[in-house]
A = this chain, B = another copy of it.
Amino acid sequence: MVRTLIPHPQHFLSFGFSVGYTPAPFPKRSHNCGALTSLDVDSRVVLAGWLLPERKVSKSLSFFPLRDSYGTTQLVVHSPARYSPPGPGQACQPTDLVTQLARIPVESIILIQGHVRLRPEKQRRPGPAGDVEVLVSDFTLLNPADRHMPFLPSDTQNMANEDLRSQYRYLDLRRPELSGNIRKRSQVAHIVRTVLNQQDFVEVETPILLKSTPEGAREFLVPTRAALAWGSDPAKVQEPLFFALPQSPQQPKQLLMCSGGVDRYYQLARCFRDEDGRKDRQPEFTQIDLEMAFVSWGNPNLADDPWRIGGHEVRDVVEDLVRTVWAQIEKISLPDRFRVMTYYEAMRRFGSDKPDTRFGLEIVDVTSCLPASTFTALRHSGETVGCLSARQSGDIAFHPIAHQCPTEDGLDRVVITSENMSSWLVDSPTVRGVSPHGDEWARGNPSKMLQLQPGDIVWIGKQRHRPEGGSTALGRQRLRLAELAQSRGTYTPTRTPHFLWMTEFPLFTRADAEKNLFAKGRWSSTHHPFTAPAWQDVQALYDGRISEVRGQHYDLVLNGVEIGGGSVRVHDAMMQEYIFSEVLQLDKHEKASFNHLLHALRCGAPPHGGIALGFDRMVAILCNASSIRDVIAFPKTSAGTDALLKSPAPVHKDMLYQYGIRYR
């Protein structure tokens, strides 16, 4: 008879063995399976855990590995002859122990009593509880597992497909890799909160039931029954009313700074974005959100610091935060100051606004090597010509795979030979396409400039002198080369994380109605309409030289991945109104949705700025996880659905009625 805890009277008939009640207060766990060490040898222990399938049952000596959320311990059960009779309260006859344990389905949860001993030397293993084993004297079946499990989480050799694992997430979470990620996430969150608390930041919860904005693409809406309570206009009451879930707590945190009640705010904020399924995006995600009052508009250490915009107070906090996390979690000591690069430099040298600086392959501007007429034509069109080269001599990681690497649209690819050494650039379609009169004498030698030899491979492409957008074709080619080299094993990224601040983005971008929410006028905000201009460019803003205005925005990039972004905000109501009306050309209705913010700025708002760091992404990098789904306990699928809870789901029509809506 197997003892079990509070069963249904007919519970275990299906398991083929009979059961008996155990007194309700079962013994308390004394240790965690994964935490036993050689220091515990000879201790009596009470462990609870899940039975793994790798059991070895024999007549003299049997082994049952037992896993809890800290690791796995080897249980040992000797043949009956080795046991003394059971003490009082030991319901199990020792003669039954092996037989009974062997009957219990794998992944059942049991509680055992036993004592710890050293494993025979040859059987010791590195890792948690690898040196010891536990001789079992008694056990209780806490809850049996079904014999027909959808999959066995311990079978990592034949992992179930992701769909099945999503559907039974509670089983997948038994994999130590996954539960380890969830545990690490909690550790990182606690470090973040502790650092920010030490720096006098106040954690403030902002509303999740927020305001729907007129341009509300990407928002989730929440219909509400509050219609009757809100507003006295009877015509309005007929209209269904909605909250919206925040894409970020941007407005609440700025209002908080305007209040002055708190001058340093942070929150691990849940945010929501209703986007069509994008790879590795979640409809709900978490950001480390912070905001500070009294941030400066310029850097007092201007002379020796590449950070020329304001908000260096935010930079200091974030660098301290990130350094502490990496020191405590990764045992890596990051530099005192993270590298700073302007958007202009990053686009020019790496063709990306989030350059991966772990490897070279920099883009070289060869415009000065072109014939004079081409040079002039390019200057008129505001363009330059750049090259990316994979050289046999210098780029040993990338040259071997360069031949197989597909070429980005819009680029020319040239293999250097002794014949084309002097003509490959001027003869390229890119250069020929600029000016039909390109047959004059070229002004410089690009092969010399790029140190090329026959056999080297070059990609040629045009770039804009005043860069736009997030990447260029040459920048994308550079990443393709690195990806292919990494997959082929010729390139292994350094373990040292490359943190990089990006600054001096243009404040406004030519409007693209497809992409931008506020694309009414010629210009839209590159980041958001609350970003302040660099103080050096305030006059240009008011003079209407919009394309010249740099924003006080900063992105934090890690290994080519943007993990955060923020800015110094506009704190001057008239400047904010000027941006809304004159630059973005919002209409009255659109502007009205910012009335409370404008009024708050008019009430003595301090200068302020902040940042939001992608917490899921940061933890995924720390866990070396390929997807943020691996660091979220209950993630949505890439289609934005919850495969475990089967959500979203239809609701009864009557429920919609009370919100004033119905199926269309």
Contact = CB atoms under 8 A, between A and B. Distances in A.
Interface in A21-36: 23-26, 28-29
A50 interface: yes
A326 interface: no
Given A29-B294, A186-B202, A633-B256, A221 B220 contact: no
A172 B211 CA distance: 20
A449 interface: no
A261 B207 CA distance: 31
Contacts of A542: 8-9
Interface size class of A (residues with CB under 8 A): 35 or more
A607 B222 contact: no
A252 B11 contact: no
A144 B145 CA distance: 68
Contact of A149 (B190, B263, B603, B640): B603
Interface string A191-221: 0011001000011111111111010100011
Interface in A6-46: 6-11, 23-26, 28-29
Contacts of A641: 226, 229-230
Interface stretch (A80-88, A175-183, A359-367): A175-183
B226 A298 contact: no
Nearest to A275: B225
Interface stretch (A387-395, A450-458, A462-470, A568-576): A568-576
A159 interface: no
A28 to B, nearest CB: 7
Interface in A65-115: 67-69, 105, 107-109, 111
A304 to B, nearest CB: 14
A656 B661 contact: yes
Interface in A414-458: none
Interface string A605-618: 11100000000000
Contact of A203 (B189, B636, B663): B189
Nearest to A595: B646
A186 B211 contact: no
B662 A664 contact: yes
Copies in the complex: 2
Contacts of A107: 603-604
The winner among A185, A243, A251, A293 for most chain B CB atoms within 10 A is A243
A236 B650 contact: yes
Contacts of A179: 259-262
A178 to B, nearest CB: 6
A146 to B, nearest CB: 5
Contacts of A158: none
A643 B578 CA distance: 26
A594 B222 CA distance: 24
A262 B183 contact: yes
A224 B220 CA distance: 7
Given A5-B607, A208-B284, A241 B24 contact: no
Contacts of A294: 29, 48, 111, 142
A320 to B, nearest CB: 16
A23 B298 contact: yes
- Count chain B CB atoms within 10 A of each CB in A223, A225, A276, A296 and give the residue with the most: A223
Given A298-B23, A648-B241, A603 B170 contact: yes
Interface string A269-296: 0101010110000011010000001101
A491 interface: no
A190 B202 CA distance: 10
A205 B632 contact: yes
A229 B277 contact: yes
24 contacts: A9-B542, A11-B574, A24-B536, A48-B293, A69-B260, A69-B263, A107-B603, A143-B607, A170-B256, A170-B603, A173-B260, A204-B633, A206-B633, A209-B272, A209-B283, A211-B649, A212-B648, A214-B652, A224-B648, A230-B648, A239-B650, A241-B649, A241-B650, A243-B648
A578 B10 CA distance: 12
Contacts of A174: 259-261
Contacts of A300: 25, 28
A603 B171 contact: yes
Interface in A593-648: 596, 599-607, 632-634, 636, 639-642, 644-648
Nearest to A241: B648
B210 A26 contact: no
A310 interface: yes
Contacts of A146: 602-603
Contacts of A243: 220, 642, 647-648
A303 interface: no
B226 A26 contact: no
A199 to B, nearest CB: 13
